[in-house]
């Protein structure tokens, strides 16, 4: 098999095989809004494996220390011999080494590391293209190295209690010095202006992309960062993969929301989607609106939402900024998943709500303002001062203040009681001071409306006090009757 690879006899040579210079050109500038996705690896060396299912596991070549030997540098050999040497170097990089024991196969690890580093430099500094055969074998080498079984999370199959993801220790892959170079090589290949998309999509296919997306569950943040960049570039360069990538990410979100609530790469996937959403054309497709309603908004439900809320909030806000008519859908969605007992999540939701309201027009505001300010009134009276304080900050936003002023006849009656309760009895002085300022604003904007709300509040308070007095009198009469009956049954001794 090695001789076949050296001779290139296992494959019909393509037109590009006649090219004499096989180096990649330096990567040119690319659109930062693009997105890239990678998936499952392909079978690697033998001819039967090339026809196997894309999802079949990749069997790494058997390790032979004699096979992992240093080779001449590509720049030191004649151009006519570079293709065969390039393939031999890919063969060396395809060997799997044990990184759990750093003292084992030290020489082989160093040879592989240097070979990978040379290939990266070769791609970066070259001035031409590599042949299709080399491209295919390189993607196979990449697949062998990166597509692997990820180690189980600390809470899986260990009998330990499920802990907060923010409190878990981060697992760093010991093989990262090699994996990083493999990812860098793949990135250079994808972004290179010399990479022909029509040829590359034969090897970076749906199977490859799907397996690449599955790797976002890696616990190593360094790997997820590379995956994010590569997937972003693939999305931008391979238009044929775009619907598939969006659907694959969608499926991960569904599984995370409704089944596991465990996935390490939600934040990175949302960062990619943020760039994708920013590039949506108008009018927005129904597919994208359904994605907002069925995936992004329900992502507010899982317990670990704090770990990715910043990215999620950005994506949701992008939708509203693209199409202001979606504001009502988003606000009602936030109210649906509003946290009841988690004050820290409430603070996050209030911050996101303010960003959404900044992009909301008056017509959409009027559709949802009643349930919205009922919830804000509850937040104003929260015993957690950060929640109450964050809700009062809405009146510092000029756009939101303008919406409230235009609809004050609806808003003020909804929150007047909450404001009065804060002034009368909230324990935090900062909250008390902010409440006084908000109350003063309403008084200055519409004194007549303010007085009417105060009159209604006083009547309601008096009515409630009267009902309470009646209840106490009823209980007192019942207690007296019960005492009389017990007294009549007593016998004097």
Does any domain span residue 409?
Answer: yes
Task: Say how far apart CA 256 and CA 298 lie, in whole Å.
Answer: 10
Banded pLDDT at 161 (limits 50, 70, 90): low
Task: Assess whether pLDDT exceeds 70 at residue 59.
Answer: no
Cα separation, 413 vs 422, whole angstroms: 15
Residue 367 placed within a domain = yes
147 occurs within a structural domain? no
Residue tagged 């693209």 (tokens): 322
Mean pLDDT, residues 177-193: 93
CA nearest neighbour of 296 among 285, 284, 288, 306: 288
**Residue 459 domain-assigned (yes or no):** yes
Strand partners, 39: 208
Tokens of 382: 């929260």
Looking up residue 458, the CATH number of its domain turns out to be 1.25.10.10
| Mean pLDDT estimate for the chain | 84
pTM: 0.80
Q: Is residue 428 in a domain?
A: yes
Domain count within the chain: 1
Across the range 381-391, mean pLDDT stands at 96
- 341 found inside a domain: yes
pLDDT, position 44: 35
2 — pLDDT class (breaks 50, 70, 90): very low
Listed residue (187, 17, 176) closest to 86, CA to CA: 17
Coil/strand/helix, residue 39 = strand
Is residue 326 over pLDDT 90?
yes
Q: Is the pLDDT of residue 353 over 50?
A: yes
Burial string for 185-206 (b: 16+ CB within 10 Å, else e) reads: bbbbbbbbebbeeebbbebbbb
Tokens 């997820």, residue located: 224
Task: Read off the pLDDT of each residue in 252-258 and give the average, rounded to a whole number.
Answer: 96
Q: For residues 346 and 334, is the Cβ–Cβ distance under 8 A?
A: no
The DSSP symbol for 280 reads -
Domain that holds residue 407: 333-482
Please give the average per-residue pLDDT across 359-381, as a whole number: 96
Q: From residue 340, how far is each of 105, 198, 343, 445 by CA, in Å?
A: 55, 52, 8, 33
Q: Is the pLDDT of residue 15 over 50?
A: no
- Answer yes or no: are the C-beta atoms of 439 and 419 closer than 8 Å: yes
**pLDDT class of 124 with cuts at 50, 70, 90:** confident
- Domain assignment present for 337: yes
What SS3 class is residue 461? helix
Query: 182 lies in a domain?
Result: no
Per-residue pLDDT tens over the stretch 454-472:
999 999 888 888 898 899 9
Query: Is the per-residue pLDDT at 12 higher than 60?
Result: no
Rounded to an integer, the average pLDDT of 307-313 is 97
Average pLDDT over residues 34-62: 40
pLDDT of residue 466: 87
Bridge partners of 38? 209
């Amino acid at each position: 098999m090695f001789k076949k690879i050296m001779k290139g006899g296992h494959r019909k040579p393509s037109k590009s095989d006649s090219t004499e210079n096989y180096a990649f050109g330096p990567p040119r500038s690319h659109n930062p809004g693009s997105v890239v996705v990678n998936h499952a690896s392909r079978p690697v060396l033998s001819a039967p494996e090339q026809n196997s299912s894309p999802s079949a596991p990749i069997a790494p070549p058997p390790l032979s220390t004699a096979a992992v030997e240093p080779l001449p540098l590509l720049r030191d050999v004649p151009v006519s011999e570079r293709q065969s040497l390039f393939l031999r170097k890919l063969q060396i990089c395809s060997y799997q080494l044990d990184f759990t024991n750093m003292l084992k196969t030290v020489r082989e690890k160093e040879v592989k590391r240097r070979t990978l580093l040379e290939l990266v430099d070769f791609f970066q500094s070259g001035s031409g293209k590599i042949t299709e055969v080399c491209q295919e074998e390189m993607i196979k080498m990449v697949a062998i190295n990166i597509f692997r079984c990820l180690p189980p999370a600390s809470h899986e199959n260990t009998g330990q209690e499920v802990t907060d993801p923010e409190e878990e220790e981060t697992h760093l892959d010991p093989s990262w010095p090699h994996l990083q170079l493999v990812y860098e090589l793949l990135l250079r290949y994808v972004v290179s202006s010399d990479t022909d998309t029509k040829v590359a999509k034969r090897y970076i296919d749906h199977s490859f992309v799907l397996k690449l997306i599955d790797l976002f569950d890696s616990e190593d943040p360094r790997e997820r960062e590379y995956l994010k960049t590569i997937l972003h570039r693939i999305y931008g360069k391979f238009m044929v993969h775009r619907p598939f990538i969006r659907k694959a990410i969608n499926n991960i979100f569904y599984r995370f929301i409704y089944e596991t609530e465990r996935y390490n790469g939600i934040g990175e996937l949302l960062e990619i989607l943020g760039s994708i959403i920013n590039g949506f054309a108008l009018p927005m497709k129904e597919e994208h609106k359904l994605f907002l309603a069925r995936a992004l908004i329900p992502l507010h439900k899982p317990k670990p939402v704090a770990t990715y809320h910043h990215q999620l909030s950005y994506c949701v806000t992008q939708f509203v900024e693209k199409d202001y008519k979606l504001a009502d859908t988003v606000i009602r969605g936030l109210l649906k998943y509003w946290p009841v007992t988690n004050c820290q999540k409430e603070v996050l939701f209030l911050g996101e709500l303010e960003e959404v309201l900044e992009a909301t027009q008056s017509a959409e505001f009027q559709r949802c303002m009643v349930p919205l300010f009922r919830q804000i009134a509850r937040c104003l009276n929260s015993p957690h001062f950060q929640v109450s304080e964050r809700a009062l900050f809405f009146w510092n936003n000029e756009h939101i203040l303008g919406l409230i002023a235009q609809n004050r006849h609806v808003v003020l009656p909804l929150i007047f009681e909450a404001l009065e309760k804060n002034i009368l009895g909230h324990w935090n002085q900062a909250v008390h001071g902010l409440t006084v300022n908000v109350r003063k604003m309403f008084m200055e904007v519409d004194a007549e409306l303010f007085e009417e709300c105060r009159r209604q509040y006083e009547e309601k308070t008096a009515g409630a006090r009267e009902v309470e007095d009646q209840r106490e009198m009823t209980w007192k009469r019942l207690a007296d009757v019960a005492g009389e009956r017990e007294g009549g049954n007593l016998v004097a001794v």
